[in-house]
Structure 1
Amino acid sequence: MDLSLGILDWSVIGLYFLVVFGVAGWATWTERQGEESSVDYFLAGRNVGWFVVGASLFASNIGSEHLIGLAGTGASSGVAVGQFEVLASLILLLLGWVFVPFYVKSGVYTMPEFLEKRYSSTARWYLAAISIIGYVLTKISVTIYAGGVVFEAIGVSFWTGAIIVVGVTGLYTVLGGLRAVLYTDLMQVFVLIGGALAVTLIGISELGGWGALTASVPGSFFDMWLPSDDPNFPWTGILFGAPILGVWYWCTDQFIVQRTLSAKNVDHARRGSIFAGYLKLLPVFIFVIPGVVAYALQQQGALQLEASDQALPVLVGTLLPIGLRGVVVAGLLAALMSSLSSVFNSCSTLVTWDVYRELKPEASERQLVWVGRISTVVLTLLGLAWIPFMQNVSEQLYTYLQSVQGYIAPPIAAVFLIGIFWRRVNANGAISTLLAGLVLGGSRLVLELINGANADGLPSGTAIEWIAEINFLHFAILLFVICVGILVVVSLLTDPPAEEKVRGITYGTAEAGEVEADEHAEPAAVAAADEDGALGSAAWRRVDLWLTVGLLLGVAALWFYFS
């Protein structure tokens, strides 16, 4: 990746950083008005509107794998990879309509805390530990690394770039908490979409229009539904496996769900989720299609790609004039910084709320806030320290390390999803499921590594070879079914959960959210979340139902066109 920038481009990037500091400073100053509390720092006072919630959900999700990876995959195989983005729109509806009522109305700060309310403290510690370790080893380090790579491409040394990204992002996250993260995300969404849209439109124009694009590439490039034996995106895996990973990521991961927990009430949290669902229809056009454009231009001899992942930077360097290149680089930095600030804040929330406060329940509000700030600094340093090790890890191994997140997703998705819909499942079933899922997922990872490292592979025709080589989406389906079976069987063989473990946290036991608020939760925030009733006001629900229908039609239209 090598981008040549002019003075105007650097001016645009400088302006971007000034605006980021300005927005973060305003959000920090707003938070500091009055006595500082944990609900202000970690959940922005639970007073955030739906537009900001939705924008932050989208911005937090978009990272380097979207800006570089989606375009690269689009250049090599077409739009099928966009299925994950389209399915995210549907899963966000699930978040808004199914999960949000219980999360917001229960007054929890974290997903592990919710798991404790439904099951046990052991389940809480498991999810907190898995999440914190995963954030440090993958999300934090890879985002810092990507930031260094972006700066290296524009003539700044790798470590200088990494430190700039960490310094700027860490500073406003430490000082302003979630409020600063949310409002900088809101600003960065416009930069992200603007930069990506410029690349898309100029690229299609260079080809001579949409018709010329579709005529320049194989027909399979515009087909989202690939055969069931496709090694990467089989339709069976997309339809049945990807939603399982989606439920884990969009509905149970602190990194994402914390945005909805900051909403004013259930209505704002739900509508924010729906708004994010509409935004998730965009990546197919602004991230994947540029890769297809790059492939088409290469076929015409207008540019050269040494590797598919070069699609976006080569497009930018070849087609965009001075000035617009700065906008795209600012978009890259916006994606990285929004993801990094989000993971900093969510991870520090887990450390503070699920570790420190559990060990020291008498901690004051001021102590909790300062622990959150200190843990953010420590996480930043850990992320930086991990980068040199990550650079020595082979690309294949690092891909496997990333994929392990997909292997821990099915058991977590199972205990949340079944736990909300069926009151009979208990803590014994949940712990058995989480541990068994971890062992089975870890075994798959080990077998993959052995199979990839050994020239002869695993013994041909054996069950272990089949497990190692089965598509990861198909494996997710299998693992989810096993985990649900374990959860149900173990729960039925042991005593049913106590009434307080299901009252208001499962459908059919009471109106969603009629649970006791945590003793540390702000009474005003819980009251605000409850002001419109269990599932929100009727007027908001009617509008949201129509918005939901519109989003479903949008998904159907995309599937119909790209088929």
Structure 2
Amino acid sequence: MEFSWIDQGIFIAYGIIIIGIGIWVSRKNGNTSEDYFLAGKTLPWWAIGASLIAANISAEQFIGMSGSGFAIGLAIASYEWMAALTLIVVGKYFLPIFIEKKLYTIPEFIEKRFSTNLKTILAIFWIALFVFVNLTSVLYLGATAMDTIMGDGSGALFQKAIIGLALFSAAYSLYGGLSAVAWTDVIQVVLLVIGGLITTVFALSYVSDGQGVLAGLSMVYEQVPEKFSMILDKGEIITPDGKDAWWDLPGLAVIIGGMWVANLYYWGFNQYIIQRTLAAKSLKEAQKGIVLAAGLKLIIPIIVVLPGIIAFVMNVGPDGVVSTGSADPSFFSETGRIINDNAAPWLIKSFVPTGLKGLVLAALAAAIVSSIASMLNSTATIFTMDIFKPYFGPKTSEKNLVNVGRISASVALLIAVFLAPQLKNLGQVFQYIQEYTGVVSPGILAVFMMGLFWKRTTNNAAIWGVLLSIPIALYFKVAPNGWSDSALFVTIPFMHQMMITWVLSMIVMMIISQIEGKGQDHEKGIVITKSLFATSPTFNISSFIIMIVLVVLYGIFW
């Protein structure tokens, strides 16, 4: 099915509407840094919840997780379902402290708890991560998907797609700041859910020969029941490229192990995620927004993981024989096997009918553009408030701070546009990003957790803990050539690596803090009181319902 003029018209209309709304909601913005970076602290709970999901669901999930669903199965959905529980933890135990401190940025917490030097180190790290990893990978994956769906997969539209996505996100986010990003996210998240469901529904209907969605789902489960296992045993799932999926999702580690390190770091201390909660009208509004996002997380696997499993069933039979049907050959490798990260684009192009295809592509663009806009705004916030203002412009006017934010975001976007085409042969992109972010995230998480909940943690302990965490992580991950079988080096699944690195980093901090502080509380230690973590009945009841649903889901798909 080709991308018709009807689809093009729908897609163009979507772009005009989003840019128009972004500019319209920005017209009320003032010229202060709070207006630009924190939306004037006026966001209601439903905008916060929608914006959290829109910022999170990007090409990594829409394309990368579908690819992992193709290769691994439903088990990859643990990133989504465990995120729901993580969000509840963040809302109850992290947000009260962050909002009480009146933070603009996450690095700012490090300054208030530890030191300016450590804050600057982490601020530079996060800017580099956003620009060189997050922005580039989202642009690369998004452009690849656009080229595959709208073009012939030859790459002819690839560069144009990168530039188009970059200009699209810049058109409203650079001018309007977080206010424009958050309010357009409300529309974007509705669109991406609807678009994702359309793809899933048509694919399931095709599998069942028109007998309906439930029949299709039943047939998919009957053909590959192993793909619906959430807790993998060693050797249970061998991916199409011959890799044991257990190494990516090692058993119970997804519930009680390293998955917590990845999720707590991402949802609790990631600027472009947590920033919209810092812009809430109040703590209660932020917590209600967190719960809404947690609830939405429960349904996300239907639109980002299930399509990959369906694509697997359509292309790889029980005997391993691949059937490409009438699909575009560019989706497949030289051996005839569909490329993992082409699973979702293949379904969209092959089975979504004319008219709806434009809507689905708009949903994909919404996922990509909303994430790019969020990353740009957060990069600008950290650079302006944590680097420029304290070191280069302590007396700079509010208006100039906003201008610096716009300029820094523009530079970040230009760098990402230049680097994105250089990303090649990443395999399962979602797993790749998770794995290599996992080298640095345990140490950073350790700094925050110790800073929040152990008053004796010292600044030197935090610095040494985060620095030593990297060689500790690499010890379990990378052995020198020819040494892989040496007793000196141990290679383990990256989730185990993250958990061990996190624990060892905290132990290092505890030892140094005890020696340096002689058993005394640090002067900047956070005073914890019972009332600080008090939550509303709405938050408590909603959280309880979400936890019950999670228990049921893991019970069914164990």
| TM-score strictly above 0.5 | yes
The Cα of 1:460 is off from its aligned counterpart by: 1.6
| Map of 2:264 onto structure 1 | 247
* Maintained 8 Å contact 1:216/1:296: no
* Maintained 8 Å contact 2:476/2:492: no
The structure-2 alpha-carbon separation of the partners of 1:206 and 1:358, relative to structure 1 and needing over 3 Å to count, comes to same
The Cα of 1:218 is off from its aligned counterpart by: 2.6
| Map of 2:75 onto structure 1 | 80
Aligned residues: 518
| Map of 2:252 onto structure 1 | 236
- The Cα offsets for residues 67-126 of structure 1, whole Å up to 9 and x where unpaired, read as 112222222232111111111101111111010001112111001101111111122112
* Maintained 8 Å contact 2:315/2:338: no
The Cα of 1:281 is off from its aligned counterpart by: 1.0
**TM-score w.r.t. length of structure 1:** 0.87
| Map of 1:24 onto structure 2 | 22
Find out whether 1:132 has 2:127 as its counterpart.
yes
Question: Matches of residues 409-488 of structure 1 in structure 2 within 5 Å?
Answer: 409-441=441-473, 447=478, 450=480, 457-464=482-489, 466=490, 469-488=491-510
Question: Matches of residues 137-148 of structure 1 in structure 2 within 5 Å?
Answer: 137-148=132-143
The Cα of 1:385 is off from its aligned counterpart by: 2.4
Structure 1 CA distance for aligned equivalents of residues 471 and 398 of structure 2: 38
Q: Point out the more displaced range, 68-77 or 551-560.
A: 68-77
Structure 1 CA distance for aligned equivalents of residues 271 and 86 of structure 2: 15
The Cα of 1:511 is off from its aligned counterpart by: 5.5
Instruction: Could you tell me which runs of 5 or more consecutive residues in structure 2 were left unpaired when the two chains were aligned.
Output: 209-214, 236-245, 318-322, 328-336
- The Cα offsets for residues 406-461 of structure 1, whole Å up to 9 and x where unpaired, read as 1111111112122222212121211111111133335556x26x55xxxxx53424
The Cα of 1:276 is off from its aligned counterpart by: 0.6
Question: Matches of residues 181-192 of structure 1 in structure 2 within 5 Å?
Answer: 181-192=181-192
Question: Matches of residues 333-344 of structure 1 in structure 2 within 5 Å?
Answer: 333-344=365-376
Structure 2 CA distance for aligned equivalents of residues 326 and 367 of structure 1: 40
Structure 1 CA distance for aligned equivalents of residues 428 and 512 of structure 2: 35
Higher helix share: 1
Structure 1 CA distance for aligned equivalents of residues 72 and 64 of structure 2: 12
Structure 2 CA distance for aligned equivalents of residues 295 and 237 of structure 1: 25
Structure 1 CA distance for aligned equivalents of residues 410 and 217 of structure 2: 51
| Map of 2:200 onto structure 1 | 200
| Map of 2:39 onto structure 1 | 44
| Map of 1:180 onto structure 2 | 180
The Cα of 1:245 is off from its aligned counterpart by: 1.1
Q: Point out the more displaced range, 187-196 or 278-287.
A: 278-287
| Map of 2:239 onto structure 1 | none
2, 8, 22: which one pairs with 1:4? 2
314, 318, 339: which one pairs with 1:307? 339
395, 400, 423: which one pairs with 2:426? 395
The Cα of 1:294 is off from its aligned counterpart by: 1.8
- The Cα offsets for residues 476-520 of structure 1, whole Å up to 9 and x where unpaired, read as 111011111011111111126776512xx3424x864xxxxxxxx
**TM-score w.r.t. length of structure 2:** 0.88
- The Cα offsets for residues 13-56 of structure 1, whole Å up to 9 and x where unpaired, read as 0111011112101121121xxx4100000000011001111111
Letter in 2 for 1:204: L
Question: Matches of residues 268-283 of structure 1 in structure 2 within 5 Å?
Answer: 268-283=285-300
Q: Point out the more displaced range, 64-73 or 331-340.
A: 64-73
Structure 2 CA distance for aligned equivalents of residues 108 and 72 of structure 1: 37
Find out whether 1:58 has 2:50 as its counterpart.
no
Letter in 2 for 1:227: D
Structure 1 CA distance for aligned equivalents of residues 167 and 205 of structure 2: 39
Letter in 2 for 1:184: T
* Maintained 8 Å contact 1:188/1:331: yes
The Cα of 1:296 is off from its aligned counterpart by: 2.2
Structure 2 CA distance for aligned equivalents of residues 120 and 511 of structure 1: 27
Structure 1 CA distance for aligned equivalents of residues 55 and 62 of structure 2: 13
3-state SS of paired residue (2:27) = helix
* Maintained 8 Å contact 1:113/1:124: yes
The structure-2 alpha-carbon separation of the partners of 1:223 and 1:283, relative to structure 1 and needing over 3 Å to count, comes to same
- The Cα offsets for residues 257-289 of structure 1, whole Å up to 9 and x where unpaired, read as 101101111101111111111111112211111
Letter in 2 for 1:480: W
Structure 1 CA distance for aligned equivalents of residues 405 and 221 of structure 2: 54
* Maintained 8 Å contact 1:120/1:427: yes
Find out whether 1:221 has 2:227 as its counterpart.
yes
* Maintained 8 Å contact 1:199/1:290: yes
Q: Point out the more displaced range, 63-72 or 239-248.
A: 63-72
The structure-2 alpha-carbon separation of the partners of 1:217 and 1:418, relative to structure 1 and needing over 3 Å to count, comes to farther
Structure 2 CA distance for aligned equivalents of residues 103 and 151 of structure 1: 38
Structure 2 CA distance for aligned equivalents of residues 149 and 162 of structure 1: 9
The Cα of 1:396 is off from its aligned counterpart by: 6.8
The Cα of 1:163 is off from its aligned counterpart by: 1.2
Provide the identity percentage.
30
Structure 1 CA distance for aligned equivalents of residues 381 and 115 of structure 2: 19
The structure-2 alpha-carbon separation of the partners of 1:364 and 1:296, relative to structure 1 and needing over 3 Å to count, comes to same
The Cα of 1:167 is off from its aligned counterpart by: 1.1
* Maintained 8 Å contact 1:422/1:507: no
Instruction: Could you tell me which runs of 5 or more consecutive residues in structure 1 were left unpaired when the two chains were aligned.
Output: 452-456, 513-533
Q: Point out the more displaced range, 184-193 or 283-292.
A: 283-292
* Maintained 8 Å contact 2:43/2:279: yes
- The Cα offsets for residues 164-206 of structure 1, whole Å up to 9 and x where unpaired, read as 1111211211100000010111111011101110111222222
* Maintained 8 Å contact 2:185/2:370: yes
Structure 2 CA distance for aligned equivalents of residues 441 and 371 of structure 1: 36
The structure-2 alpha-carbon separation of the partners of 1:299 and 1:144, relative to structure 1 and needing over 3 Å to count, comes to closer
